[in-house]
Chain A
């Protein structure tokens, strides 16, 4: 009997949740920025998925090691090579597809890690207060003002070539302070709310309060910040690769730009110079648009404004 009540309650909550989600989704999709960003991302997602196809058709299309035996230097677009080949006869289109995969991998994983870290630090600082708060926020201030690209460059100088996962880790390690500040502010305001007091009075442990009461309320915000972190992670990785400190075993868009720049084909192979740059810029733009659209979903103040205007 009781069980049933619980089930009904749960079902109700789920229904409510679904309704809220659908409403948010509607708001999101009503926003032109959200729509454009989303469709661009779907396109890049498709590219990433399709990147597994070319090497299966022919090892010649492997982005890193496949070369066209008939081509010895960069040639323009043709039927075999839709975007031409690079300096040693590798297919640029396959590289572009593989680059999408790397961009998603780097962007999403670095953003996820930095947001998890930032949320954890922000919640801890906000909830614990006092010395912990001061110490963590001073640390955040310190890391925040460091130019991440140059920091990673510096580490590359010390540790030699960094693998792609090291790069992801480094980006995550140096991009969390922004998130943690926001989350801390949010936590601080949540802490003042009566339901936290109520939970504390009823004997909930700190961990329980953090995980059951505070976290669900800060997660949407954290999620929003993730989209912005994705863009910065992608841009930093691309910048690093462009400067020649990327993971040489990975074909990323930044790496492609570095090749076209360093091998001297820059002035005569627009088919090679343009696509990777357009892709990086577009994927950044789409995540950025997504973030702004989500901003509106999460901040009803902005939503009303768009309705009226």
Chain B
């Protein structure tokens, strides 16, 4: 049974200009211990999906259609009380801007202990602290820095602390939202490696959200490429990265330098994503698409299988 199933998910934001459909008809599923990378430009809806998985949409956002099933429980309709028990216990999150995700006026140890004790009310302070020490060892943080304040940590240490916090309750699923964006390349690499290792060690399912397809390809088993609220290509990481079919994925791949891949010229993607308020009749990428045809503007594109487990939302592939 799949750890996570997302079916036909649609999420809208209520704005002054009307309903903004940030996510539209997204389907994917995740097996335990596997990792899925969601890639796309900013504003494509990948973070929104991450938030929806935690039940943390902002006040003006709501799930308009579809459902999210985690471990057999439909969390998209769960009441707030139940949802709170699910959070961190089963789904943890590594935040986008790790620098600001730690409360500046509270000690690191206290922040992690808080996460533990919220869900394990019977655990006393000593036990919780012991657990935090274990987590520190796990992520390679020195124990003497246990009671520091966030501002005393370097960026990489903060990120490790966040990861430690995410692992605190042995969650089944971790959502990592741009976990390494603000770090320098070396630290980034280290942390990614460790993350990968931890994942296999504890058999955690990971949803890895990033704008950098090369990193995702490196870390994850599977990749889903998102564009303008829709999943446009999905499949095993290597398939999607080295054999990308969707013009957007191709553009995405060629816009990042890869350390391992062949030397090619970086190609920026011209144009901007469409406005997501109101309905869009045809393919959402057609304005920027090199293969654009007249029919693209009129009809919704269909999913096509292009390889084993490799699907693409484009009529021309």
- Enumerate A293-309 residues with CB–CB distance to B below 8 Å: 307-308
B60 within 8 A of A: yes
Interface of B is mostly: loop
A-B contact count (CB 8 A): 4
Contacts of B51-78 to chain A: CB distance below 8 A: 60
Q: Which of B7-34 contact A (CB under 8 A)?
A: 15-16
Residues of A within 8 A of B16 (CB): 307-308
Q: How far is the CB of A245 from chain B (nearest CB, A)?
A: 45
Closest 4 A-B residue pairs measured CB to CB?
Answer: A307-B16, A308-B60, A308-B15, A308-B16
A131 to B15, CA, bound (A): 50
Determine the interface band of chain A, counting residues with CB < 8 A from chain B.
under 10
- B60: A residues at CB distance < 8 A: 308
Interface size on B, residues (CB 8 A): 3
- What would be 4 A-B contacts, judged by CB atoms less than 8 Å apart? A307-B16, A308-B15, A308-B16, A308-B60
Interchain CA distance A308-B16 in the complex, whole Å:
6
For the complex, give the distance between the alpha carbons of A307 and B14 in Å: 12
Tell me the smallest distance from the CB of B17 to a CB of chain A, in Å.
10
Cα A308 to Cα B15 with chains together (Å): 6
CB distance from B60 to the nearest CB of A (A): 7
B:116-148 near A, CB below 8 Å: none
Query: Which residues of A have CB within 8 Å of B15?
Result: 308
A307 cross-chain contacts in B, Cβ below 8 A: 16
Could you give, for residues 168-199 of chain B, a 1 whenever the CB lies within 8 Å of some chain A CB and a 0 otherwise? 00000000000000000000000000000000
Contacts of A308 in B (CB 8 A): 15-16, 60
- Of all chain A residues, the one with the shortest Cβ separation from B16 is A307
Closest chain A residue, CB of each to CB of B15:
A308
Interface residues of A in 242-286 (CB under 8 A from B): none
CB B59 to nearest CB in A, in angstroms, measures 9
Bound-state Cα–Cα, A160 to B16, Å: 60
A27 to nearest B CB, angstroms? 13
A38-75 vs B, Cβ < 8 Å mask (1 yes, 0 no) = 00000000000000000000000000000000000000
Per the bound structure, the CA–CA distance linking A308 and B17 in Å amounts to 10
**Which residue in chain B gives the minimum CB-CB distance to A307?**
B16
Least Cβ–Cβ distance between A50 and chain B, in angstroms: 41
Q: Which of A118-166 contact B (CB under 8 A)?
A: none
Tell me the smallest distance from the CB of A58 to a CB of chain B, in Å.
Answer: 56
The answer for the CA separation of A270 and B93 in the assembled complex, in Å, is: 64
Give min CB distance, B97 to chain A, whole Å: 18
Bound: A308/B60 CA distance, A: 9
CB distance from A307 to the nearest CB of B (A): 5
CB-nearest residue of chain B relative to A304?
A: B16
CB-CB contacts below 8 Å: A169-228 with B: none
